Amino acid sequence: VSEGLVLKNGTRLQYPINGFHALVVSVGLLLLLLWLGVPLGSLFDLLLPLAVCTTGLSFLLSFYLYISSFWAPPHALAPGGNTGNPLYDFFIGRELNPRIGNFDLKYFCELRPGLIGWVVVNLGMLMKEVELRDEASLAMLLVNGFQLLYVADALWNEEAVLTTMDIVHDGFGFMLAFGDLAWVPFAYSLQASFLVVHPVELGGAAATAIVLLNGIGYYIFRKSNSQKNVFRRDPKHPSVSSLETIATATGKRLLVSGWWGLVRHPNYLGDLLMALAWSLPCGFSHLLPYFYVGYFTVLLVHREARDERQCRAKYGQAWDAYCQRVPYRIFPYLY
């Protein structure tokens, strides 16, 4: 059990950190189903009805969240989701941490159903390929393996979600409910479902290069995220104490060497390299598998701009000095 950041009324909420256990239990149950002969490949034929159902479920949940938020005390409301415009507030979310007893609805939806659902859909696509062609292709195995690693990593580091914008700042409304329950499992598994319909023969050299690209992306993503987490939790920790930093008026310091001296968002760079590695196994015959890289680039460029604005407002001149020392945002010498 871990505590979240301090809320407006000075209290902190408690959160169970057992997402990784949930993944292990889910994967164990899936393997049991496979052993019992359950045709997981049927998920391929059910993709559209399931996506429609989860979208319907997101609407139902959002209506519940919107209506129940009117019983929440004023200090429990999100700053951005209370404009008085019902459509906008329904979309962005009025209440910050809606709970039923101790069960935190936003925290639960944020990582578990979507990310674990994504792994389940991917495995279903792999089984469909086995049904159709008697074996799983190398391309399908790579896509499944890369994305399972990403999901396992997010759930292993579940505690880190407690300091993200989604948990700290945003209310729980349709945007997050739809994103978590419908968008992630069905849009992020596009490469695996594409490979069912468009088989790709991947050579050894191409596969090695793609594995290397995913490995480099993952290394940058994990190392940079961990370096900042360690630095924010304990700046005197031996792994970060020798890094160069600059002081800010808030008392917090900013890293200007190490990963955060390479570009101002090295974790986004790693994430994007991985996104490319997930699309490349699908070959170049179609644009569809590259949808994720394109969409994710737009999402992270926009997110970076939003974060940059918040940091400039928080740190003023110190942030400008950081930008002068580290001129590139995400891609060294490019952007």
Residue list 234-263, contact with ligand NDP (CB under 6 A): 252, 254-255, 260
Q: Does residue 11 belong to the site contacting ligand NDP (CB under 6 A)?
A: no
The interface region with ligand NDP, picked from 41-49, 65-73, 265-273, 282-290 by CB under 6 A, is 265-273
Report the length, in residues, of the chain.
Answer: 335
Nearer to ligand NDP, 31 or 165 (CB): 165
Burial degree of 315 (CB within 10 A; 0-12, 13-18, 19+): buried
Q: 235 near 252, Cβ under 8 Å?
A: no
d(CA 18, CA 11): 22
Q: Which two tokens stand for residue 272?
A: 């994007």
Identity (one letter) of the amino acid at 195? L
Instruction: Tell me how far, at minimum, the Cβ of 80 lies from ligand NDP, in Å.
Output: 16
Residue of 139, 228, 289, 329 interacting with ligand NDP (CB under 6 A): 228
Token pair in block for residue 157: 């580091």
Residues 98 and 68: their CA atoms lie apart, in Å, by 9
Tokens of 161: 């979600």
Q: Using the rule CB under 6 A, which residue among 66, 183, 221, 278 binds ligand NDP?
A: 221
d(CA 112, CA 158): 10
Number of H helices, E strands in the chain: 14, 6
Q: Quote the least distance from Cβ 259 to ligand NDP, whole Å.
A: 9
Contact between 223 and ligand NDP by CB under 6 A: the answer reads no
Between 143 and 255, name the residue whose CB sits nearer to ligand NDP.
Answer: 255
Distance between CA atoms of 210 and 213, rounded to whole angstroms?
A: 5
Amino acid code (one letter) for 200 = V
Question: Per CB under 6 A, does 290 bind ligand NDP?
Answer: no
Q: Which is nearer to ligand NDP, 232 or 286 (CB)?
A: 232
User: Does residue 191 touch ligand NDP according to CB under 6 A?
Assistant: no
Cβ-based neighbour number of residue 16 at 10 Å: 15
Of 303-322, binders to ligand NDP (CB under 6 A) are 303, 307, 310-311, 322
Q: Is 265 in the site for ligand NDP (CB under 6 A)?
A: yes
Residues in the site for ligand NDP, rule: CB under 6 A? 164-165, 221, 225, 228, 231-232, 252, 254-255, 260, 265, 267-268, 271, 303, 307, 310-311, 322
